[in-house]
Amino acid sequence: MPKTRPSAGPENPLVVAVAYDGLCTFEFGCAAEVFGLHRPEMGEGWYRFAVASVERGPLRAAGGVRVIADGELDLLAEAGTVIVPGWRAVDAPVPKALTLALQDAHARGARILSLCSGAFVLAAAGLLDGRDATTHWRYADELVARYPGLRFVPDVLYVDAGSVLTAAGSAAGLDLCLYLVRRDWGPEVANKIARRLVVPAHRQGGQAQYVERPVPRERAGGSCLGPLLDRVRGALDQDWPVERLAAEAALSPRGLHRHFRDATGQSPGAWLVAERIVRAQELLEGTAIAIEEVALSCGFGSAATLRHHFRAVLGSSPAAYRARFSTTGC
């Protein structure tokens, strides 16, 4: 896996978002928020942002918003990154001019991103043939049925297939945009942007946790588990069996499971593994300590156990993750 050096930046910093009549406002906002804001603290080389219109004239966007683009599809010829923020409907035809512009941009070396239903546009352009891809879980069956040449990846927030990247549901577009910042600039910069947005720099898990499930009755910060979760996060190297967790929360094991589900949407064990993975990521990015020591510091006990959980959650080995995202030069 190629190493991403921090503060390197993209070779071509121009990001062009595609706008169309019926524009998905939220998905477009994700792209604009990450790539379109002036960030003088980032110095030279930070992204430039433009909007390319599929149709002429002011465009309608969801919520009664009108959009006036910077130019037409010829802007894609100058872009280093092109973003398709959703599409007006999964069964809406994709104009030939748009598919040709995307094909030309990709052939020239631009990275092409789709957010949510924008995957249908990339598929119509043939850019997903033979590639891993994802989209919102509601549209998965339709995408696979219509474009059997792609390899659909379920239960993920986004897929990086190199020069073509796809995000799942609407908010997963923000995850993918932050991931691209991480790929271009390294974890410290991505973390800084995420803090400005008040969102996690990297969310664990996939779409399965969001499919047709009730909204939790209370969140961890406002439940009786808040102090316990803070204690566990500060001592991840220790053993935390359910019996200990329940005792420290003054709950029965059964009550603990119920409160965990309500507060975090996960079982105690799943939450603990996710927290240990987050800590492992921090150590792999920011230190040069050995993988075995990372495993012990996070409570996994051995490098083999760390590798097992790391690959199950992130689809990568700890060593490969460090090679890509380390800020220490190791």
Catalytic residues: 116
Could you tell me how many residues make up the chain? 330
Helix (H) or strand (E) holding 91: none
Q: What is the DSSP letter of 171?
A: T
Q: Is the separation of the CB atoms in 170 and 157 below 8 Å?
A: no
Distance, CA of 175 to CA of 170 (rounded, Å): 10
Residue pair 105/39 in contact (Cβ under 8 Å)? The answer is no
CB 285 within 8 A of CB 325: yes
**CA–CA separation, 78 vs 49, rounded Å?**
11
Provide the terminal-to-terminal Cα distance of the chain, rounded to the nearest Å.
14
Cα 293 from Cα 220, distance rounded (Å): 30
What b/e sequence results for 153-169 when a residue is b if at least 16 CB atoms lie within 10 Å of its CB, and e otherwise?
Answer: beebbbbbbeebbbbbb
* DSSP SS3 for 72: strand
